[in-house]
């Protein structure tokens, strides 16, 4: 990771301290800088200077960090941790921290331990760096995308009359893990029939019937990096209108992907895809943004939306996911993960997108 560039962006920070609190306030930026792929590192810090990166952790994670060749300081207890923080920042007055990764209590504790420091919020600068993926990061997202693509192509064979939405979600999760994921990157959405008209539907017990649409939105984590894929299938011959909706969404997605390249505004990409849908009788039925950034978080940053001014840069990774939703009838969404290139884009997710009737 380009630590020197971060210091150039911040300007007056002499050191940067990133805290990873744990389950309820884990900071992905801790793992962005360390690139640690294993371990929880609850209550740990990474301390950055222009020339050095140091992990401050307990004995629980010591061997994991050392195995990655990182410089490690180990604390025995909370008092010892305070002494280490004071010592490692002793020659620093202006200390960068990521406010977004700290609870209010964490921040007050840090001020109590280091009362002589001037704290600078470096969160926005870190997110600016995280938007542009390194080749190492892209390779991890590519592997994560490969996992979901393989599982998506298995879904038609998973569909059985009478199965519940939760059963399908569980099977998708199992297959992701079996294919190499460390976990799902978010709660898997499996929706049948009218439930597909809710873009963020979860936790369903509807039983699958012939003639119903099936929408599955899921992602895998691979070495902490996320993928995000949506495919829509038909269990038995659907109504003609649903086939028309599917073809419209697919055309909108193709046009959106075609528009992606370095220097294009994400707002314009959204407009191009949305125009396809709004030129039909389904105008106004595309009710969310076209896509978002992808990385250590499944929603890493805004990217493609009608109300967000965002210029695409090479090696950003974004989703492209148009949809049409008709309440009490059903919906279609098709989503892929895409790397921005200088003169176009690279689609990472390779699952079939032809209209599939099971």
Q: At 113, give phi and psi (nearest 5°).
A: -75, -35
Is residue 100 helix, strand or coil? helix
Listed by start position, the domains of the chain span 3-131, 135-347
Q: How confident is the model at residue 203 (pLDDT cuts 50, 70, 90)?
A: confident
Q: If you average pLDDT over residues 109-122, what whole number do you get?
A: 96
Is residue 321 helix, strand or coil? coil
End-to-end alpha carbon distance in the chain: 46
Do 294 and 228 form a contact (C-beta atoms < 8 A)? Answer: yes
Q: How confident is the model at residue 267 (pLDDT cuts 50, 70, 90)?
A: very high
pLDDT in tens, 165-177: 999 999 999 999 9
What whole-number distance in Å separates Cα of residue 278 and Cα of residue 265? 20
For all residues of the chain together, what is the average pLDDT?
96
pLDDT in tens, 284-339: 999 999 999 999 999 999 899 999 999 999 999 999 999 999 999 999 999 999 99
Q: How confident is the model at residue 1 (pLDDT cuts 50, 70, 90)?
A: low
pLDDT above 70 for 120: yes
Q: If you average pLDDT over residues 119-146, what whole number do you get?
A: 97
**What is the DSSP pairing of strand 212-218 with strand 229-235?**
antiparallel
pLDDT in tens, 15-25: 999 999 987 78
Q: If you average pLDDT over residues 340-357, what whole number do you get?
A: 97
Q: Provide, rounded to the nearest whole percent, the portion of the chain with pLDDT above 90.
A: 97
Beta-carbon neighbour count of residue 277 at 10 Å? 22
Distances (CA, A) of 191 to 87, 140, 198, 313: 54, 28, 9, 34
Q: Which fold has domain 3-131?
A: Creatine Amidinohydrolase; Chain A, domain 1 (3.40.350)
Q: How confident is the model at residue 248 (pLDDT cuts 50, 70, 90)?
A: very high
- Please give the model's pTM, rounded to 2 decimal places: 0.94
pLDDT above 80 for 195: yes
Helix 135-152, helix 165-178: angle, nearest 10 = 130
* Residue 272: closest CA among 261, 256, 260, 285: 256
- Write down the pLDDT at residue 322: 98
- Write down the pLDDT at residue 148: 98
Q: Which fold has domain 135-347?
A: Creatine Amidinohydrolase (3.90.230)
Q: How confident is the model at residue 202 (pLDDT cuts 50, 70, 90)?
A: confident
């Amino acid at each position: 990771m380009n630590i020197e560039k971060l210091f150039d962006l911040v300007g007056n920070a002499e050191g940067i301290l990133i805290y990873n609190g744990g389950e309820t306030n884990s900071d992905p930026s801790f793992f962005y800088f360390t690139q640690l792929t294993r371990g929880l590192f609850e209550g740990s810090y990474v301390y950055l200077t222009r020339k050095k990166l140091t992990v401050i952790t307990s004995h629980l994670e010591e061997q994991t960090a050392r195995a990655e060749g990182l410089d490690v300081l180990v604390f025995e207890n909370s008092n010892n941790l305070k002494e280490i923080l004071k010592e490692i920042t002793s020659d620093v007055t202006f200390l960068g921290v990521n406010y977004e990764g700290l609870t209010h209590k964490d921040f007050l504790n840090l001020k109590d331990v280091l009362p002589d420091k001037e704290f600078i919020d470096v969160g926005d600068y870190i997110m600016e760096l995280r938007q542009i993926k390194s080749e190492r990061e892209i390779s991890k997202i590519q592997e994560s995308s490969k996992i979901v693509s393989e599982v998506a192509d298995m879904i038609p064979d998973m569909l059985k009359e009478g199965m519940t939405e939760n059963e399908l979600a569980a099977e998708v999760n199992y297959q992701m893990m079996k294919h190499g994921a460390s976990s799902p990157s978010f709660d898997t959405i499996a929706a049948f029939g009218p439930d597909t008209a809710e873009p963020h539907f979860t936790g369903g017990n509807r039983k699958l019937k012939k003639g119903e649409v099936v929408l599955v939105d899921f992602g895998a984590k691979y070495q902490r990096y996320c993928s995000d894929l949506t495919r829509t299938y038909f269990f038995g011959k659907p109504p003609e209108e649903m086939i028309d909706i599917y073809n419209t969404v697919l055309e909108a997605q193709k046009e959106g992907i075609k528009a992606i390249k370095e220097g294009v505004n994400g707002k314009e990409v959204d407009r191009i895809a949305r125009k396809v849908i709004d030129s039909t009788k389904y105008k106004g039925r595309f009710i969310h943004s076209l896509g978002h950034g992808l990385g250590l978080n499944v929603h890493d940053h805004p990217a493609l939306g009608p109300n967000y001014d965002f210029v695409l840069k090479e090696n950003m990774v974004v989703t492209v996911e148009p949809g049409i939703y008709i309440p009490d009838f059903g919906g279609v969404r098709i989503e892929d993960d895409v790397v921005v290139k200088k003169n176009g884009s690279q689609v990472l997710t390779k699952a079939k997108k032809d209209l599939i009737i099971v």
